[in-house]
Amino acid sequence: MPEELPDDFARVGSSLVIMAKAVREAMRQATAALLGSDPALAQGVIVRDAEVDVLYRVVEDRVYEVVARRHPAGDQLRMVMTSLQVAADLDRMGELAVHVARATLRRHPSPAIAAELAELFRAMGTVADELAGKIVAALADRDHVLAAQLDGDDDAMDELHRQLFAVMLRTDWPLGVEAAIDGALLGRYYERYADHAVNIGRHVMFLPAARAAEAA
């Protein structure tokens, strides 16, 4: 039944798109929780990460099914195997959003980031959201041009990360060790989120196209 093959593959691609949308929304909400010191929003991010875990299992199951039933080889085999790696990257992006949300809860009712750092984290959240948005679009359309832009967007995150450390290491940093440690670890979570997005961009050309109806 070779005519069924595209559907099998498209279902894997569609699951990845849905997963990417979920981890984009997770970091968007986590950033809002962090900046607004909003525990309910942070709690929501943590609870909804279970959905990302379920989606990860769905991708795995669909990949197993394709391999077991279709015996793909060559490019098709690479396609399904790469899907597993991308799902792992997306799962990790979801976990990093949870780390941001947990930092918010840990410090509540105090803000988890110093007022001095709020604009930098707002900017990191914006870059993270742009990266995740491009991943959603690139996965949905197998858009190589969009995927190729991710490396450049990641440079913006690296630059913000450098600025963050420059601010905290100024001799007139007024907020002491604890606020600096929180800032450093939160900065690392955003940086790693961006790293995983770039990883995914590098994989896009090997991924199955999503089925339009499922991924919409």
Which of 1, 40, 145, 177 binds its own copies (CB under 8 A)? It is: 177
The answer to whether 180 contacts its own copies (rule: CB under 8 A) is yes
- The site that binds its own copies (CB under 8 A) totals a number of residues, namely 27
Query: Is residue 73 a contact residue for its own copies (CB under 8 A)?
Result: yes
Distance CA 56, CA 60 (A): 6
Whichever of 81 and 216 has its CB closer to its own copies, that residue is 81
Q: Is 57 in the site for its own copies (CB under 8 A)?
A: no
61 binds its own copies (CB under 8 A): no
The reply to whether 166 sits near its own copies by the rule CB under 8 A is: no
Residue 191: CB minimum distance to its own copies, A? 11
Q: With CB under 8 A as the contact rule, which of the stretches 82-90, 100-108, 138-146, 152-160 interacts with its own copies?
A: 82-90
List of residues contacting its own copies (CB under 8 A): 60, 63-64, 67-68, 71-74, 77-78, 81, 84-85, 88, 165, 168-169, 173, 176-178, 180-181, 184-185, 188
